[in-house]
Structure 1
Amino acid sequence: MLGLTFVMKHPLRYFTITLSLIVAVAMQATEVNVSPGLLERAVGDDRDNVTTLIVTGAVNAADLHFVCTSLPSLETLDLSGVTVEAYNGKTLVANRGDFPASTLPAYILSGLKASTVILPGSITSIGEGAMMGAAVQSLEIPAAVRSIGDNAFCGCDGLTSVTIPATVEDVGRGVFSSCRNLKTVSYGLHDIPASAFAGCTSLVSVETPSGLRSICREAFRQCVSLAGFDYGTSLVTVGDFAFSHSGLEEAVMSSCSGLSHIGKQAFGNCDRLTSVSLPDGVTTLGAGAFLDDTALESVNFPAATRTVEPYTFKGAAAVNDASRLLSGDVDSIGAFAFAGMDKVGEVVLPSRLADIGDNAFEGWLSLNTIRAEEIEGVPSLGNDVWAGVYAPGVFLYVPDDLKGEFMSAPQWKEFNITQSGTIDMTRELGGMPSTAVSVAWDGPTLTITSDSKPIETVKLYDIAGRLLHSCDNIASSTFTIDTGGFTTDFYIIHVTTPPAAVSFKTARR
Structure 2
Amino acid sequence: MKHLFLAILLITLGATAQATDITTSAAGSVEAALGSGAASVTSLAITGPVNAADLHFIASLPALTTLDLSKARIEEHRNSRLATNHSDYKADQLPPYILAGAGFSTIVLPAGLTEIADGALMSTSITTLSIPASVKRIGNGALADCRKLTQLTIPATVTETGTHLCDGATSLARVSIGTDAVAAYAFRGCTALTTVEGSPTTIGDFAFAGCTSLKSYPFGPSLTHLGTGAFYGSGLTAALGSCRNLKSIGDYAFAHCTALASVNLPEGLTDVGEGAFFDDNALTSLTIPSSVTTLGDFSLKGTSKIDSSEGLLSDGVTTVGRYAMAGMESLTNVRIPAGLTALDDYAMTGMTALESIDARRPREVPETGADVWRGIDQSKVTLYVDPSMENSFLAADQWSEFAIVTSGMRQDVTADGVGTPDVRLAIAGTTLEITSSVPVVSAAVYDMAGHLLVAATPQASACELSLPLDRIAPQVLLVNVSVAASSGASTITFKIAK
Number of equivalences: 416
- Map 1:109-258; keep pairs closer than 5 Å: 109-209=99-199, 212-253=200-241, 255-258=242-245
**Alignment match, 1:320:** 307
Q: TM-score of the superposition, structure 2-length normalised?
A: 0.81
Matched residues in 2 for 1:94 and 1:241: separation? 31
**Alignment match, 1:496:** none
- Map 1:37-76; keep pairs closer than 5 Å: 37-69=28-60, 71-76=61-66
Give 1:24 shift.
1.5
Whether 1:308 aligns to 2:308 is: no
Amino acid at match of 2:140: D
Give 1:424 shift.
10
**Alignment match, 2:475:** none
Give CA-to-partner distance per residue, 1:66-101, whole Å, 9 cap, x none.
Answer: 0002x1000111111100000002210221111000
Whether 1:357 aligns to 2:348 is: no
Contact kept, 8 Å, 2:308 with 2:332, in 1: the verdict is yes
**Alignment match, 2:406:** 419
Give 1:401 shift.
2.3
Contact kept, 8 Å, 1:234 with 1:256, in 2: the verdict is yes
Contact kept, 8 Å, 1:418 with 1:424, in 2: the verdict is no
Whether 1:408 aligns to 2:399 is: no
Deviates more, 1:350-359 or 1:129-138: 350-359
Q: Secondary structure at the match of 2:57?
A: helix
Matched residues in 1 for 2:101 and 2:428: separation? 74
Matched residues in 2 for 1:20 and 1:213: separation? 57
Q: Secondary structure at the match of 1:87?
A: coil
Amino acid at match of 1:407: L
Which one of 375, 385, 391 corresponds to residue 378 of structure 2? 391
Q: Secondary structure at the match of 1:96?
A: coil
Contact kept, 8 Å, 2:407 with 2:428, in 1: the verdict is no
Give CA-to-partner distance per residue, 1:212-247, whole Å, 9 cap, x none.
Answer: 311111110000000001111121111110001000
Contact kept, 8 Å, 2:304 with 2:328, in 1: the verdict is yes
Give CA-to-partner distance per residue, 1:324-360, whole Å, 9 cap, x none.
Answer: 1111121111110001111111111011111111111
Deviates more, 1:184-193 or 1:289-298: 184-193
- Map 1:433-472; keep pairs closer than 5 Å: none
**Alignment match, 1:89:** 79
Q: Secondary structure at the match of 1:185?
A: strand
Which one of 273, 292, 301 corresponds to residue 286 of structure 1? 273
Give CA-to-partner distance per residue, 1:122-143, whole Å, 9 cap, x none.
Answer: 1111101100000011110012
Amino acid at match of 1:147: R
Give 1:403 shift.
1.1
Matched residues in 2 for 1:15 and 1:236: separation? 68
Matched residues in 1 for 2:236 and 2:320: separation? 26
Matched residues in 2 for 1:59 and 1:112: separation? 17
Amino acid at match of 2:21: E
Superposed CA RMSD: 1.7
Contact kept, 8 Å, 2:137 with 2:159, in 1: the verdict is yes
Give CA-to-partner distance per residue, 1:137-165, whole Å, 9 cap, x none.
Answer: 11100121111111111111111111111
Give CA-to-partner distance per residue, 1:176-210, whole Å, 9 cap, x none.
Answer: 1111000011111121111111110000000003x
Matched residues in 2 for 1:232 and 1:351: separation? 32
Give 1:15 shift.
2.5
Contact kept, 8 Å, 2:248 with 2:269, in 1: the verdict is yes
Where do 5+ consecutive residues of structure 2 fail to align?
410-426, 430-446, 448-469, 472-496
**Alignment match, 1:103:** 93
Give CA-to-partner distance per residue, 1:408-463, whole Å, 9 cap, x none.
Answer: 222111111012335699xxxxxxxxxxxxxxxxx9xxxxxxxxxxxxxxxxxxxx
- State the structure with more CA Rg: 1
Give CA-to-partner distance per residue, 1:468-509, whole Å, 9 cap, x none.
Answer: xxxxxxxxxxxxxxx98xxxxxxxxxxxxxxxxxxxxxxx96
Q: Secondary structure at the match of 1:299?
A: coil
Matched residues in 2 for 1:158 and 1:368: separation? 54
Contact kept, 8 Å, 2:59 with 2:98, in 1: the verdict is yes
Amino acid at match of 1:252: L
Which one of 242, 264, 268 corresponds to residue 277 of structure 1? 264
Give 1:306 shift.
0.7
Matched residues in 1 for 2:279 and 2:129: separation? 37
Amino acid at match of 2:268: G
Amino acid at match of 1:243: F
**Alignment match, 1:7:** none
Q: Secondary structure at the match of 1:197?
A: coil
Give CA-to-partner distance per residue, 1:229-282, whole Å, 9 cap, x none.
Answer: 1111121111110001000000133x3222111100001110000010011101
Q: Secondary structure at the match of 1:365?
A: coil
Contact kept, 8 Å, 2:221 with 2:244, in 1: the verdict is yes
Deviates more, 1:310-319 or 1:353-362: 353-362
Give 1:388 shift.
1.5
Q: Secondary structure at the match of 2:388?
A: helix
Give 1:12 shift.
4.0
Matched residues in 2 for 1:354 and 1:87: separation? 64
Contact kept, 8 Å, 1:368 with 1:393, in 2: the verdict is yes
Matched residues in 2 for 1:138 and 1:276: separation? 34
Contact kept, 8 Å, 2:298 with 2:323, in 1: the verdict is yes
Matched residues in 2 for 1:83 and 1:20: separation? 35
Matched residues in 2 for 1:66 and 1:110: separation? 12
**Alignment match, 1:452:** none
Matched residues in 1 for 2:295 and 2:283: separation? 17
Q: TM-score of the superposition, structure 1-length normalised?
A: 0.79
Q: Secondary structure at the match of 2:32?
A: helix
Give 1:312 shift.
0.4
Amino acid at match of 1:249: T
- Map 1:361-380; keep pairs closer than 5 Å: 361-380=348-367
